[in-house]
Amino acid sequence: MNNYGWMQTIVFFVILLAAVKPFGAYLARVFRGERTFLSPLLVPCENILYRVCGVDRNEEMPWRRYALSLVLFNLAGGVALFAILLLQGALPFNPQKFTSFPWHLALNAAVSFMTNTNWQAYSGETSASYFTQMFGFTVHNFLSAATGIAVAIATIRGFARHRSDLIGNFHVDLTRSILYVLLPVSLLVAPLLVSQGVIQNLGPYKMMPLVQPLTYDKAKVDGGGNAVRDARGNAVTERVVVREVTVPMGPVASQEAIKELGTNGGGFFNANSAHPYENPTPLTNLIEAFLILLIGASLTLTFGEMAGNPRQGWAILAVMLALLVLAIGINYAAESAGNPLVAKLGVQQVNLEGKETRFGVAGSALFSSATTGTSCGAVNAMHDSMTPLGGMVPLSLILLSEVVVGGVGTGLYTMIAFVVIAVFVAGLMIGRTPEFLGKKIEVREMWMSIVTVMTSGVLVLFFTTLALWTPQAVASMANPGAHGLSEILYAFASMSNNNGSAFAGLAANTLFYNLTGSLAMFVGRFAPIVASLAMAGSLVGKKYVPPSLGTLPTDKVPFALWLSLVILVVGALTFFPALSLGPIVEHVTMLGGK
């Protein structure tokens, strides 16, 4: 990196590391029900909500009831959002008079925001009304993020408690996640984003005159929308002169804050965080990347605090950040080197295609790695325009089940599943019954960990194969060959892992992708959640086993290295053949001058 890139990245991680310990300790106090500095203001609000909803804050649930409450609550929210999208044209706050979503697109969008995926097969500024953005998408940004945090906390209780069958109350955990964590931080960040140029209003779109008219040729279409052709079969065009452009407006800052904090990623605009109204300056770029990582990183310290072993939290965080820094470095190196064929011509160049010049390669590498290492689909550069190896970095981070640092809550409970697998395998190697934080790891925990880790991989490979067999799905690719495969692989990796970012170049608003994507997002979200809660329910009933001389220390450097190796090996064994046919083949082809 150049000096600016190094300085930007180092300062970013110093601030992140300074924030995770106090914020992680704050989260631990919140979910233990202890008093915090916000308690005098929020406890009365919390009590009112419980009375209105009929929730007993002191009543806890076994894992099956917790899981059932979670799934039913999210399904109800998904149905409500589906109805909003179907009725959009008749609802208020719609100054542009946007019509309702087609049913299959509405289904896809509803499942997407319900599952914290925020995959968008539509353009936000040309499809979604202010009502949909505020009462549909933004509300689900809070609810889906709070759901992920609740599952992480319930999983932590599985290790922290002994001889019990209760892992908490889903409704209480959900309420505290929103009132004490997501809402206060969003209220602080939104005005800060407005001060930097992120817009926040309810006004209609504005028509602005161009300084100089723009002239271009546009293909003529008939009444049915088909291209008009001459006697030779060539498309007929007409000259168009553009003298003004439409400038979108809307309540962007309020959605932007929770979009990043909750690792949601659904952009108000189609260009997402590359749009100047969402991410106008290098400072907002760093703020938004910081928000993406804040809760996921802090929850590792919350885990250590609540489980009674703070060093364990730091060890898990060290693994996450080590893999993230490695990804940033590879991405930056690939993009700063650019196309080697151009370099051979003696031209000094970097690959700035698809990037905003206000962020450059360093800001784009940091943001793209942060957003794909978590379950946040926000992007500030077009991943489709990256070099083959540069584009492979965000794709690989998603395929690793997004544990670097992972989504809000999802990153922690998926990482815990990897830890259980690593402990189990290490225990077999040294001939001892595996133990983690004083709990014996047995067959049930191992199976639940495998389901948590491998569900997304099975979904990605199955639906990618199905797409390659389906003519309609193949026709949606903008590019043939290896790059086209990368587009489809990235799409289903993003949906199955609840990321939501797109490689671009794939026309995903079709019946095939909307329906298969909905299924991938739903199963990819709730199968690991139920498996993690089942593991917590199994662990919480076990007695505590004091450490002995033969206990494997899981909070030291050797185990952190072993855990990193397990994560990489699982990812490589699952996806290396697919990556070989996609970005790796594309890179070799590029080196060959094709």
pLDDT digits (tens, 9 = 90+) for 312-333: 999 999 999 999 999 999 999 9
DSSP 3-state of 93: coil
Task: Please report the pLDDT score of residue 217 as a whole number.
Answer: 86
What global pTM score does this model have? 0.93
Note whether 112 and 221 are within 8 A (CB).
no
What's residue 503's pLDDT?
A: 86
The pLDDT confidence band at residue 2, using thresholds 50, 70 and 90, is low
pLDDT at res. 3? 67
- pLDDT of 280 over the 90 cut: yes
How confident is the model over 450-509, as pLDDT tens digits? 999 999 999 999 999 999 999 989 988 888 889 999 999 999 999 999 999 988 788 899
pLDDT averaged over the chain?
92
543 closest CA partner among 162, 225, 252, 276 = 162
Q: What confidence category does residue 224 fall into, taking pLDDT thresholds of 50, 70 and 90? A: low
- Binned at pLDDT 50, 70 and 90, residue 160 comes out as very high
CA distance 498 to 115: 7
CB 505 within 8 A of CB 391: no
Per-residue burial over 167-185, b = 16 or more CB atoms within 10 Å of its CB, e = otherwise: bbbbbbbbbbbbbbbbbeb
Q: Give CA separation, 253 vs 278, 293, 341, 363, 530, in Å.
A: 7, 19, 42, 20, 33
> Residue type for 445, please?
E
* Nearest Cα to Cα of residue 5 among 329, 260, 334, 232: 329
Average pLDDT over residues 274-283: 94
Query: Which of the four pLDDT bands, split at 50, 70 and 90, describes residue 257?
Result: very high
Which residues face 238 on adjacent strands? 218
User: Which distant-in-sequence residues (6+ apart) come within 8 Å of 558 by Cβ?
Assistant: none
pLDDT in tens, 507-542: 899 999 999 999 999 999 999 999 999 999 999 999
Range name among 220-224, 261-265, 363-367, 581-585 with the lowest pLDDT average: 220-224
pLDDT of 555 higher than 60: yes
- Tens of pLDDT, residue by residue over 169-204, are 999 999 999 999 999 999 999 999 999 999 999 999
Would you place residue 225 in the very low, low, confident or very high pLDDT band (cuts 50, 70, 90)?
Answer: low
Confidence of residue 348 (pLDDT cuts 50, 70, 90): low
**pLDDT at residue number 186:** 97
Asked if the model's pLDDT at residue 364 lies above 70, the reply is yes
Give the mean pLDDT of 565-588.
Answer: 91
pLDDT, residue 337, reads: 84
Sign for the CA dihedral angle at 288, 123, 276, 328 comes to positive
pLDDT at 453 (0 to 100): 95
d(CA 266, CA 255): 9
- Mean pLDDT: which of 113-122, 206-215, 420-429 is highest? 113-122
How big is the chain, counted in residues? 594
Structure tokens at 229: 């052709």
Rounded-to-integer distance, Cα 416 and Cα 159, Å: 10
Instruction: Give 368 or 430, the one with higher predicted confidence.
Output: 368
Average pLDDT on 344-373 reads 86
Residues 169 and 33: their CA atoms lie apart, in Å, by 12
- DSSP string covering 415-433: HHHHHHHHHHHHHHHHTS-
Tell me how far CA of residue 213 lies from CA of 216, 217, 218, 219, 241, in angstroms.
10, 14, 15, 19, 7
